[in-house]
Amino acid sequence: MEAGTSHDHRTDVGRRVALRRERLGLSREEVAGRAGVAPQYLRYLEEHPVSPSIGSLTRVARALDTTVAELSGAEPATPPAGAGGGAVVPLDPDECQELLAAHSVGRIIVGTAQGPAIVPVGYAVVEGAVVFHAAGLGGGVERLAFEVDSIDEAGSVGWSVQAVGPVEEITDEAERRRLAGAVPEAGRPPEDHGRWLRLTPARLTGHRFSPGGG
């Protein structure tokens, strides 16, 4: 792809992660192992416009021997003198639902043979439930944690919403086709195979971070 002739769908964060990894001569599998994330997550982070959680980006930064500020292209924000840092403010259920419904790429936390892994998924909110397509997810999953967030590292502001609840596989072919149209194609894995799942939130919580305390 030549600069200036095609649109690059990656974020600046994704480009910096890929460049740093290549400079270190590391494979995605090596960096993912160091960071404790799934290789698919690292690939998605490098190649797609996503907003990684601060926890995930911190682990990736450590695995690459760098900082979140460098990967984000920003110097660490310095709070005003006497400000005492920022504040984490809980979101009410309506705000959580509104933010959840307004986005299309989140993360699920799943167990693997190597331990917990964070996997990006495209999703949609349909009748109050989170529906998504997950390739490579093993059977027997009865309950999942899901997260969507947006972090502005330069401004030290952002929000995070978490949904936890029972999950069921959607097997009806007509409903699967309907959901395929609801979940943005850009947010789905490239594989055609996989499982359509519906997570019904039993607990929906969220927080907003503000450097000014409000």
Distance from C-alpha of 139 to C-alpha of 145, rounded to nearest angstrom? 16
Higher pLDDT, 98 or 76: 98
pLDDT of residue 79: 41
Residue 110 token pair: 């799943």
- The residue behind tokens 């490579």 is 136
Q: For residue 95, what is the domain's CATH number?
A: 2.30.110.10
Residue 52: is its pLDDT beyond 80?
A: no
Q: Which amino acid is at 95?
A: E
pLDDT of residue 161: 92
Three-state DSSP at 11 gives coil
Average pLDDT, integer, range 123-146: 79
Higher pLDDT, 79 or 199: 199
pLDDT of residue 212: 54
Q: Where are the beta strands (DSSP E) in 37-156?
A: 87-90, 105-112, 115-126, 129-134, 143-152
Distance from C-alpha of 168 to C-alpha of 85, rounded to nearest angstrom? 41
- Same domain membership, residue 63 and residue 150: no
- Same domain membership, residue 152 and residue 118: yes
Residue 186 token pair: 């850009």
Cβ atoms of 209 and 159 closer than 8 Å: yes
Is 184 within a domain?
yes
User: Which residues, including other chains, have CB under 8 Å from residue 173's CB and lie 6 or more apart?
Assistant: none
Cβ atoms of 87 and 33 closer than 8 Å: no
Distance from C-alpha of 132 to C-alpha of 137, rounded to nearest angstrom? 12
pTM of the full predicted structure? 0.56
Is 201 within a domain?
yes
pLDDT in tens, 25-38: 889 898 988 888 88
Q: Which amino acid is at 168?
A: E
Is 7 within a domain?
no
Residues spanned by the domain of 27: 12-72
Average pLDDT, integer, range 158-178: 86
Average pLDDT, integer, range 95-114: 82
Residue 44 token pair: 């998605």
Distance from C-alpha of 32 to C-alpha of 63, rounded to nearest angstrom? 8
Name the domain count of the chain. 2
User: Which residues, including other chains, have CB under 8 Å from residue 180's CB and lie 6 or more apart?
Assistant: 133
For the chain, the C-alpha Rg in angstroms (whole number) is 18
Q: By mean pLDDT, which of 25-39, 79-93, 191-205 is the weakest?
A: 79-93
Average pLDDT, integer, range 146-151: 86
Average pLDDT, integer, range 189-196: 59
- Same domain membership, residue 170 and residue 132: yes
Residue 167: is its pLDDT beyond 70?
A: yes
Higher pLDDT, 179 or 213: 179
- Same domain membership, residue 95 and residue 49: no
Q: Name the band, by pLDDT with cuts 50, 70 and 90, for residue 72.
A: confident
Angle at 43 between CA 54 and CA 72, to 5 degrees: 35
